[in-house]
Chains A and B, each alone.
Chain A
Amino acid sequence: MKIQRLYIGDFGILRNQTLDELDPGLVVIGGLNRAGKSTLMQVLRYLGYGFPKDGNLPPANSRYEAEADIRLGVGDVYNLRLNGHGEPVLRRIAGTKTDITSPKDLYALDSFSYGRLFTITLDELAVNRAISSDDRMRLQSILLGAGFREMLLVPQLEQAFYKEGDRIGGKRGNPGVKQFRPYFNMIEAGRKLKQKGLSQVQEYQDKQQELKNMEEAVKALKKDLDKLNNLVVQLDIVKNSYDNYLRVQELRTWLADNKDWEWEDGPTENLLVRVRSLWDDYTGLCKRIREKELQSGLNPEQEKQLLAAREEMANLLAEISGVQERIRSLRQRQQELDRKKRDIIIKIKEANSHWDENHMDYITRIKADNVEYNRLIELVEEYRELENKCKNQSDNLHKAREEFLALEDRAIEYRDSRPWLGVRKYFYFSLAFTFIGVLLSLLNPLSGIIVGVGGIVGSALFFILKALGSSASRRAAHEQEKELRAREARIRAEEGVLDQLRSDLKKAEETLNGYKDKLGLPRGVPQSVLPNHLMRIKDIQRGAAELDWLSDELEDIKGFIREQYSRYREFVDQFQGRDTGNADQGTDPYGDEDWNRIIQALRLWEDRLKDAEELRLLKVKIGSIRKEIMDIMEGYELEDSSLDESNNYSVNNSRFEERVSVFMERAQEAIEYARNEAALRESIQGILGSMSSDVIRRAFVPDSADRVNLVNAFMEKCREFASAEEAEREYSQTIKERDTKLEELEDTRESIRRLEDELKRLGTIENLTQGQRQIDSGRAELKVLADQYALNMTSAFLLREAGKNLLEGMKDSVMKSAGNIFSRMTNGDYQGILPSEPLLESDFQAILDEGSDPQTVRMLSRGTQEQLYLSVRLSRIMDIKPCLPIIIDDSFANFDSLHLHQSIDILSELANTHQIFILTCHGELVEKIAEAGHKAQYWLLEQGRIRASDCDSLSSHLRTLQKV
């Protein structure tokens, strides 16, 4: 492999420098110090691998840039381009090879090996090279392992595995580095979490203890609070009931002072009130009785009498209206009798105008009952027949007579009966209207009066008008009378005939007359009147009989009235003596005045009876009151109870009153005592009432529900304070104290709640679980990496061991080649090179000659050391295929001329197969190369600029400047 063209765009001092048509063999580049030789060497060293970031390279102006055309064999040309620190980019320019696709294929050697073997500086050849032990071993392996391609692969593979292992877990497989790290962190975090979870147990225990302590504290606080609450309750009751306390104290003192007032089962206040009320009633009644007695004027005898006659008086009073009714009836009947009497008189007069009331007896004596009305009718008829016979004798006479008689009857009737009839009718009508008026007046007095008066007046007018009409008739009757007279004359004429007849007729007439006589009828009246007359007589007789009956009845009534009068009179007189009787001697007992007087008297006594009755009732009442009082008092034993049992108002009044007074006074005391006792009880009850709740009771008497104890405890507590105000102050103080305790309790409880929450949290296994999960996950991932790490490191180990063993086996053959070069380079001074043990860790040894001990490099001169190392390297370089470019940077400075010549010869030979860049600042070296006659290409490097040169120019340039 030969570099055909090299372009350095930007690398340290070298910029835009091109080395065209580089020789495939020996290329000598001369330049003084700081001209850019080492820079150029580094470009060549890293050309196939890229510029490393940590290679202590000279800085780029802006960005590393280099390019090279590389020839492989005859026609294959590749372009390698480097940019910055990036991998070199390979591009085929010419040729047909297909197996080279990357710079690795081109160089086929790792960067380390190429750097250590093919780029040779004085540093590389020094004994005390500043390289690490690993690099030394690696280098040693490279230097010893020359010869096998597979062997060349071994370090690569080993490094690859090692690097892979290193990439995963670093050199020491520390879990906390490289790719292990994230999982290390995860596991660590998990462990911490788990540890936290585990420490929760301890924390739980601590917290539990803390909780226990707090609960104890709460208990103590609650106890204190209970005490304070009790005290608050006590003080609250004390301050609010302090008046009750004082009252109880006062009442207890009073009751003790007035113990003798105590009356066990004594009268109640109501009873005393009742007694007092009764007593008031009693005294009131006494007063009323006295006043009544004075007012009524009744003496006890009278009272007694009156009360005894109470029933009779009641009867009399009740009968007054009856008597008055009878008096009214008497008057009515009297009036009726008078009216009937008048009617009878009228009838008498109508029956016989000569008659008057004095004929009453006469008429009543008429034995009308002996006269048969029918016989009389027969007789009249017979009389009429006789008359008719007479008529037969004289038609006209008879007729005239009959007419005469008829006319005469009518005339008589007109004369005798008409005014009477009219008056009578008028009377009847008036009566009727009066009656109707009275009836109506019951309903409506005005209409009754109007109808009654109107009817009477109307009837009067009617009958007056009718009477005026009858006057004309009478005048006509008078005319008829005259005609009768005429006709009588004629009749008399014919009376002869008629005499007989008349005789008969007379007899008949006599008979009839006899009847007329009997009946007190004048004879002159027509026979035909007789029956009617008879009827009138009978009517009168009946009226008279009626009058008699009425009179009798009146007498009866009068008798009754008189009797009643006497009775009333007697009744009244028995109370007042005959003081009312003087006046009534000879008085009409039927008159209103008498009766009024007697009734008035009766009413007077009736009032007195009422008084008496009232007095009686009052006395009964007072007796009842007295009895009630006594009954009440009897229920309560007094020392003096020898009061009689009389309820009499007047009996033992003063003693009764005295006893009642004593009773009431004692009762009053007892009641007051009882009232105070009740007040005491009430006050105590009030106290107990205010202590009704269990809380309050327990506050005073925790262990007892006994009321006495409770009250005593209350009183005891009250006694601690001189006033309610003092209790109030104590109460406020205690409240404050309690509130403070309460706050303290609440705070502690809150702390307990927090602790409980904390304990709940600590009781969970969340941290443990999560931690374990994290550890497991981390370990699972870490295990994969650890596996990979182990695999790579094992592989590296196996390869390293294998490589070492193989190197051991190959050392003779490897060292033989290097020994030959070394011998030639030292011009035979040394025979060969031996590796030291252990192979990879020790340096080489130089064989001076047969039989002598090998010399370690440290025993050699510096030049010989460098020649040894150069020999070993060149030996390895010769074994390694492909033939990579060799760069030698002023590595011959310590070589003497002979050894330099020998070395140049060896290099010149090597240049047949390898392209060799010799970088030097020594003109001598350039000259030596030329002198040896080896083909070489010369380049001058000056101030970072490279240009083609020749041996002389370059040598001269270097020498001149060296002298300068």
Chain B
Amino acid sequence: MVGIKFIHTADIHLGSLLHIGGGKLPPAVEQAAVTATMEGFSRVCHAAIKNRVDFVVISGDLYDREARSVRAMSFFAEKCRLLEEAGIPVLVIAGNHDPLKEKQDLIRVPDNVKVLSGDRPEIVEIPGSKGDPIARVIGQSYQSGSLDKGIHYDYKVPDRDLWNIALLHTQLEAPSSRYIPCSLTQLREIPDIHYWALGHIHRYRDFSDDLPYIAYPGIPQGRDFGETGRGGCILANLDPFGQSQTSFIPLAPVIYKRVEINIDDDPTNVPGTLLDLVDRICLEGDRLLEETGDDEDYPIEGYVVEWTIRGRGAIHSQLMEQEQESMEFLLNSLREQYEGSSPFLWTDSIIIRTQSPIDYIDLLENSPVFREVDRIIDQCLEDEDMRERLMDELGIIWKGDGDHETENDLRFHMDDASLREILYRARYLIAERLTGRGEGS
């Protein structure tokens, strides 16, 4: 065996748009929203060419059925032509977002692109520079939007004489999954596979430091706040002399970032006005921009930020009483503040979680209602039935199941953190009302 290098990427969702809130976006942000996923893939191709890899594997969801466009297909073909010119084959399996059934070959892809079969695991040998095979790529595409069969058991390679790379689009370790249910143990038990190139999970995860490698490269370019952090791809270097290693190449042009600001971190400098609050947020924004490294190959084009303002302070009442106006002021101020910055910093949203100074201890001692409310909150967090009852109260709009694959645009998912957040906010709200601080008291 000879050493090989390849790029492992997945879940590119080519052509899908970044979900950026804020009405009319500035041109740079708007442009990034449209092109970032394509730019992400372009950078993956660049990384492949720059690192002179032997091949590139794409472990599903190259496209997004929600954003499949002629433009995206043309772009893919165009970039693959560059790889072809560099002599780099591209091996692709279809995922649940771009199953073969929905495959629409509108744009002819170059000959270096091979989409693996959806009927059964298909093996493709990768020739080396001398023409002899240096690796095998095995994989099976999704035929439709789900695949609940453990197809990994059928990933059988003839021998270990070549590097065996397995492409699998799976929701690993899920209790029940429509997306190839399997576990790490099962994968490790499949013989002769040197590298499990997984796809489906949008966050980079590397499960192993040694052969067989099992890794998710994550999405090269995140598209919403569910995909925060910088996306990238994996450069795998398999060495017959035990020096194999994988490395993550961060290359996403746009980063989704959640930033929490506690206004009472410094009790001597708690923002008293909205302008003070804007200044306080800008400190964090400036810090974020300053911390942006100088990546020549893959520069960060911008940040999409969600600010969460917490803590107690007098500003809370203003934020509560003039919630809409305050929010508009903060959003406009921050967007104006970073207008034209490079990289751009776009304030997607601001979540106000400030609190008024309420003496909860006193309340808990003297208010049987609040005590009971507090007890029920704990019950909601701990008791599944109670939680379900509460969820019933939250109505259809919160009936999202949290599976981003099936998420409905008109519903939201209440995850644990969100529920806890809501419950605490409700607790706070009730306390305010009971103590006569809030509205209508």
Chain A residues within 8 Å of B, Cβ to Cβ: 148, 150-151, 153-154, 157, 160-161, 169-176, 180, 184, 187-188, 190-191, 194, 197-198, 200-202, 204-205, 208, 762-765, 768-769, 772-773, 775-780, 782-783, 786-787, 789-791, 793-799, 801-803, 805-806
Contacts and interface: CB of A to CB of B under 8 A. Distances in A.
Nearest to A194: B66
Interface in B327-372: 348-349, 367-369, 372
B377 interface: yes
A737 to B, nearest CB: 38
Contacts of A200: 69-70
Contact of B390 (A187, A191, A772, A794): A794
B369 A789 contact: no
Given A187-B410, A798-B376, A789 B17 contact: no
B440 interface: yes
A194 B434 CA distance: 46
B69 A175 contact: no
Contacts of A187: 409-410
A175 B396 contact: yes
13 contacts: A153-B433, A200-B70, A202-B104, A763-B69, A772-B16, A772-B17, A776-B21, A782-B410, A791-B425, A794-B422, A797-B393, A798-B373, A802-B372
Given A762-B70, A768-B17, A776-B19, A783 B434 contact: no
Contacts of B433: 153, 157, 160
Nearest to A148: B368
Contact of A205 (B104, B368, B380): B104
Contacts of B389: 797
The 7 closest A-B pairs by CB, nearest first: A173-B395, A780-B21, A802-B372, A794-B426, A763-B70, A795-B426, A772-B17
Interface string B165-186: 0000000000000000000000
Contacts of A188: 410
Contacts of B25: 773
B394 A793 contact: yes
B46 interface: no
Interface of B: 15-17, 19-23, 25, 33-34, 65-72, 74, 104, 106, 348-349, 367-369, 372-373, 375-377, 380, 389-390, 393-398, 409-412, 414, 422-423, 425-427, 429-430, 433-434, 439-440
Nearest to B392: A797
Contacts of A786: 397-398, 412
Contact of A791 (B67, B69, B422): B422
Contact of B430 (A171, A789, A798, A806): A798
B426 A772 contact: no
Which secondary structure characterizes the binding site on chain A?
A: helix
A201 to B, nearest CB: 5
A768 B373 contact: no
Contacts of A775: 19, 409
Contacts of B429: 161, 791, 795
Contacts of B67: 194, 197-198, 765, 768, 772
A790 B414 contact: yes
A802 B21 CA distance: 37
Given A198-B65, A769-B17, A803 B422 contact: no
B70 A204 contact: yes
Given A157-B430, A802-B373, A793 B395 contact: yes
B390 to A, nearest CB: 6
Given A782-B397, A802-B369, A184 B71 contact: no
B68 A201 contact: yes
Nearest to B423: A794
Contacts of A150: 367-369, 434
Given A764-B71, A791-B429, A797-B390, A772 B19 contact: yes
Contacts of A204: 70, 106
Contact of A191 (B34, B72, B409, B412): B409
Given A174-B397, A786-B412, A805-B372, 5 more contacts: A200-B70, A773-B25, A787-B422, A789-B395, A799-B369
Nearest to A175: B410
Given A790-B394, A791-B422, A794-B423, A160 B69 contact: no
Contacts of A201: 68-70, 104, 106
Contacts of A794: 390, 393-394, 422-423, 425-426
Contact of A172 (B17, B348, B395): B395
B76 to A, nearest CB: 13
Contact of A768 (B21, B69, B376): B69
Contacts of A801: 372-373, 376
A168 to B, nearest CB: 10
A172 B391 CA distance: 11
Which of A150, A205, A778, A790 has its CB near the most chain B CB atoms (within 10 A)? Answer: A790
A794 B367 CA distance: 19
Contact of B17 (A175, A198, A773, A779): A773
Contacts of A778: 409
Contacts of B15: 765, 768
A775 to B, nearest CB: 5
Given A153-B434, A200-B70, A208-B106, A174 B409 contact: no
Contact of B411 (A153, A160, A175, A202): A175
Nearest to A805: B372
Contacts of A797: 389-390, 393
A187 B21 CA distance: 13
A171 B440 CA distance: 21
Contacts of B422: 787, 790-791, 794
Contact of B393 (A763, A772, A796): A796
B376 A802 contact: yes
A803 B394 contact: no
B153 to A, nearest CB: 34
B440 A160 contact: yes
Contacts of B368: 148, 150, 806
B369 A169 contact: no
Nearest to B16: A772
Given A201-B106, A794-B423, A806 B409 contact: no
B412 A783 contact: yes
Contact of B373 (A198, A762, A787, A799): A799
Nearest to A203: B70
Contacts of B19: 772, 775-776, 779
A176 B396 CA distance: 10
A444 B66 CA distance: 133
